[in-house]
Amino acid sequence: MGARAGGISAERGAGSVLALGVVAATVALTAPVLAASAMLLGGQLAANAADAAALAAADAVSGAVPGEPCERAADAAARNGGTLEACAIDGLVAEVRARVVVAGLAQAARARAGPPGAGLEP
Protein backbone atom coordinates (compact mmCIF):
# COMPACT_ATOMS: atom_id res chain seq x y z
CA MET A 1 0.00 0.00 0.00
CA GLY A 2 2.95 2.31 0.65
CA ALA A 3 4.23 1.95 -2.94
CA ARG A 4 0.85 2.82 -4.38
CA ALA A 5 0.44 5.85 -2.18
CA GLY A 6 3.89 7.06 -3.22
CA GLY A 7 2.98 6.75 -6.90
CA ILE A 8 -0.17 8.79 -6.49
CA SER A 9 1.50 11.54 -4.52
CA ALA A 10 4.19 11.88 -7.21
CA GLU A 11 1.50 12.86 -9.73
CA ARG A 12 -0.27 15.30 -7.45
CA GLY A 13 -0.51 18.69 -9.17
CA ALA A 14 0.15 17.32 -12.66
CA GLY A 15 -3.32 18.41 -13.79
CA SER A 16 -2.58 22.00 -12.79
CA VAL A 17 0.65 22.00 -14.77
CA LEU A 18 -1.13 20.52 -17.78
CA ALA A 19 -3.92 23.11 -17.55
CA LEU A 20 -1.36 25.90 -17.31
CA GLY A 21 0.39 24.56 -20.41
CA VAL A 22 -2.88 24.44 -22.36
CA VAL A 23 -3.71 28.02 -21.35
CA ALA A 24 -0.23 29.22 -22.33
CA ALA A 25 -0.45 27.50 -25.71
CA THR A 26 -3.89 28.99 -26.33
CA VAL A 27 -2.66 32.50 -25.53
CA ALA A 28 0.44 32.03 -27.69
CA LEU A 29 -1.67 30.96 -30.67
CA THR A 30 -4.47 33.49 -30.15
CA ALA A 31 -2.38 36.65 -29.67
CA PRO A 32 -1.04 36.82 -33.27
CA VAL A 33 -4.50 36.12 -34.66
CA LEU A 34 -5.97 38.96 -32.60
CA ALA A 35 -3.20 41.33 -33.68
CA ALA A 36 -3.73 40.45 -37.35
CA SER A 37 -7.48 40.90 -36.97
CA ALA A 38 -6.98 44.33 -35.40
CA MET A 39 -4.71 45.35 -38.29
CA LEU A 40 -7.23 44.18 -40.88
CA LEU A 41 -10.07 45.91 -39.07
CA GLY A 42 -8.04 49.09 -38.71
CA GLY A 43 -7.20 49.12 -42.40
CA GLN A 44 -10.84 48.72 -43.35
CA LEU A 45 -11.97 51.41 -40.92
CA ALA A 46 -9.29 53.77 -42.23
CA ALA A 47 -10.43 53.13 -45.80
CA ASN A 48 -14.05 53.80 -44.81
CA ALA A 49 -13.12 57.06 -43.08
CA ALA A 50 -11.00 58.18 -46.05
CA ASP A 51 -13.73 57.32 -48.57
CA ALA A 52 -16.36 59.22 -46.60
CA ALA A 53 -14.03 62.19 -46.17
CA ALA A 54 -13.16 62.35 -49.88
CA LEU A 55 -16.82 62.14 -50.89
CA ALA A 56 -17.80 64.86 -48.41
CA ALA A 57 -15.03 67.15 -49.67
CA ALA A 58 -15.95 66.51 -53.31
CA ASP A 59 -19.60 67.29 -52.57
CA ALA A 60 -18.58 70.62 -51.04
CA VAL A 61 -16.25 71.45 -53.95
CA SER A 62 -18.98 70.74 -56.49
CA GLY A 63 -21.47 72.90 -54.61
CA ALA A 64 -23.80 69.98 -53.89
CA VAL A 65 -23.53 70.83 -50.18
CA PRO A 66 -22.48 74.08 -48.51
CA GLY A 67 -19.28 74.42 -46.54
CA GLU A 68 -15.53 74.33 -46.81
CA PRO A 69 -14.40 71.04 -48.41
CA CYS A 70 -11.65 70.11 -45.95
CA GLU A 71 -13.85 70.96 -42.95
CA ARG A 72 -16.52 68.69 -44.43
CA ALA A 73 -13.88 65.99 -44.93
CA ALA A 74 -12.67 66.28 -41.32
CA ASP A 75 -16.24 65.98 -40.05
CA ALA A 76 -16.94 62.92 -42.23
CA ALA A 77 -13.70 61.24 -41.12
CA ALA A 78 -14.57 61.87 -37.46
CA ARG A 79 -18.07 60.45 -37.90
CA ASN A 80 -16.44 57.30 -39.24
CA GLY A 81 -14.05 56.95 -36.30
CA GLY A 82 -11.02 58.56 -37.92
CA THR A 83 -9.05 61.76 -38.08
CA LEU A 84 -8.23 63.69 -41.22
CA GLU A 85 -4.46 63.89 -41.74
CA ALA A 86 -4.36 65.58 -45.14
CA CYS A 87 -6.79 67.20 -47.55
CA ALA A 88 -6.00 68.59 -51.00
CA ILE A 89 -8.37 70.01 -53.59
CA ASP A 90 -7.42 70.09 -57.28
CA GLY A 91 -10.24 71.52 -59.36
CA LEU A 92 -13.26 69.38 -58.56
CA VAL A 93 -11.21 66.47 -57.20
CA ALA A 94 -10.62 65.97 -53.49
CA GLU A 95 -7.77 63.81 -52.19
CA VAL A 96 -7.61 62.97 -48.49
CA ARG A 97 -5.71 60.86 -46.00
CA ALA A 98 -7.49 59.58 -42.88
CA ARG A 99 -6.18 57.67 -39.87
CA VAL A 100 -7.84 55.42 -37.30
CA VAL A 101 -6.45 53.70 -34.21
CA VAL A 102 -7.70 50.20 -33.32
CA ALA A 103 -6.29 48.36 -30.31
CA GLY A 104 -3.40 50.81 -30.16
CA LEU A 105 -2.44 50.24 -33.81
CA ALA A 106 -2.72 53.22 -36.17
CA GLN A 107 -3.78 52.63 -39.77
CA ALA A 108 -4.07 55.23 -42.51
CA ALA A 109 -5.70 55.27 -45.93
CA ARG A 110 -5.98 57.64 -48.88
CA ALA A 111 -8.99 58.30 -51.07
CA ARG A 112 -9.90 60.50 -54.02
CA ALA A 113 -13.32 61.62 -55.15
CA GLY A 114 -14.73 63.90 -57.78
CA PRO A 115 -17.19 64.03 -60.65
CA PRO A 116 -17.14 61.44 -63.44
CA GLY A 117 -14.45 62.13 -66.02
CA ALA A 118 -12.36 64.22 -63.63
CA GLY A 119 -9.25 62.09 -64.11
CA LEU A 120 -9.75 59.76 -61.16
CA GLU A 121 -8.21 56.76 -62.89
CA PRO A 122 -5.71 54.99 -60.61
User: Do 34 and 44 form a contact (C-beta atoms < 8 A)?
Assistant: no
Mean pLDDT computed over 42-71:
96
Task: For 65-112, write each residue's pLDDT tens digit.
Answer: 999 999 999 999 999 999 999 999 999 999 999 999 988 889 999 999
Averaged pLDDT score across all residues of the chain: 87
Partnered with residue 84 across adjacent β-strands are: 98
Q: How far apart are the first and last CA of the chain?
A: 82
State the pLDDT confidence band at 18, using cuts at 50, 70 and 90: confident
| pLDDT of amino acid 7 | 55
Q: In 11-87, which ranges are continuous DSSP H helix? A: 14-62, 69-79
- pLDDT at residue 10 is higher than 70: no
Q: Full-prediction pTM beyond 0.75? A: no
| pLDDT of amino acid 122 | 61
Mean pLDDT computed over 46-52:
97
